Structure 1
Amino acid sequence: MTDEPRLSAQDMIERLSPALSPRTRIRAVTALLAGAAGAVFVGALWWTEPGPLPGRTHLAFALFTAFCLAWAAYGGWLLTRRVPLFATDRVIAAWIGLAASLATTAVLTVVAAQRGTGVGPVLAVGGGFVAVALVLVVRAQARRAALLRRRRELSGAQPGRTS
């Protein structure tokens, strides 16, 4: 017998790999930079538009700026993580993508309806983006659940307990 204490599953996981893989770190930096650049670009475009803008245009600029800031915040949050995430990052990214695709589809549908150009193509393309985003949400949540289940199995926790 050794005098060394037994490591929990969490301790083993933390010792096996760094908190963020290089691939995840690249995704985080990309999200941070793209989100910040997008927010600056959309904000500058919104600010420099001449004359009074219609309310729906203000709404569209505000939504696009908000989504860019959400991606920048996601990238910054991901870069600061020092613990294993168990696919939480993927769940958050998938929900941001779903929210952005739903809101963009809704705004573009309203614009198309007001202009009388037909909402069919907007709903078809937007529906495709929403469907893909929804699949990503389901896959991310399933992956997270599987990882958490595996962690519980490795640590010997009781089946009904969550962490």
Structure 2
Amino acid sequence: MTDEPGLSAREMLDRLDTTLSRGTRIRAVAALLAGLAGAVFVTSLWWSEPGPLPDRTHLSFTLLTVFCLAWAGYGGWLLTRRVPLFATEQVVAAGIALAASVGTTGITVVAAARSGTGPGPALAVGGLFIAAAATLAVRARARRAALLRRMRQLTRQEGP
């Protein structure tokens, strides 16, 4: 049984729009531009620092640049998709957000501990970001699984 009268499961799957919605395109362009702008900003800041930098500072700049490039890559990847994604884009975005939250929290906690201010506030704020990103990741995976389950149900109903 299908959700729309008169359409078979195969017809419903065939009618899936292969173009991105306007909102998805806007989010993809925003991620691409923000990622590129962030990467340019962080690397220009890194290169303009006078004198030799400690290794942990190089590591911090490297991680921040990688996170920015990951968002730019995500935006570019999303803009080039021409097939139904079944919420894959949400799973990828949530994974990037979770990795960035964990990495940034780690950098911030180490910096706070080394400066003598204590890691408490950095852990508290970072923990909130990590919890939010983890919640989004779990929700994105559940939504993707539900969509794929529904697609399999529709495909089975159609039969050979």
| TM-score relative to the length of structure 1 | 0.88
SS of the counterpart of 1:137? Answer: helix
TM normalised by structure 2 equals: 0.89
> Which position in structure 2 is the counterpart of 1:34?
34
1:82-161 equivalence runs, <5 A? 82-156=82-156
SS in 2 for 1:156: helix
Q: Deviations over 1:12-55 (max 9, x none)?
A: 33424243111111111110010011101111110111111111
Aligned twin of 1:23: 23
Provide the aligned length of Structure 1 versus Structure 2.
151
Amino acid across the alignment from 1:107: I
CA distance, structure 2, for counterparts of residue 130 and residue 55 of structure 1: 25
Render the CA deviation track for 1:30-84: whole Å, top value 9, x for unaligned: 1001001110111111011111111111111101100000000000000000000
Q: Which amino acid aligns with 1:130?
A: I
Conserved 8 A contact 1:28-1:75: yes
The CA RMSD over aligned residues, in Å, is 1.6
For 1:128 and 1:87, the matched residues in 2 are separated by 24
Deviation string 1:119-158 (CA, Å, 9 cap, x unpaired) is 100000000000000000000000000000000111117x
Structure 2: runs of 5 or more not aligned = 1-6
d(CA) in 2 for partners of 1:91 and 1:14? 24
Q: CA deviation at 1:93?
A: 0.2
> Please, which runs of 5 or more residues in structure 1 have no aligned partner?
1-5, 158-163
Specify the alignment match of 1:50 in structure 2: 50
8 Å CA contact 1:101, 1:133 repeated in 2: yes
Corresponding position of 1:161: none
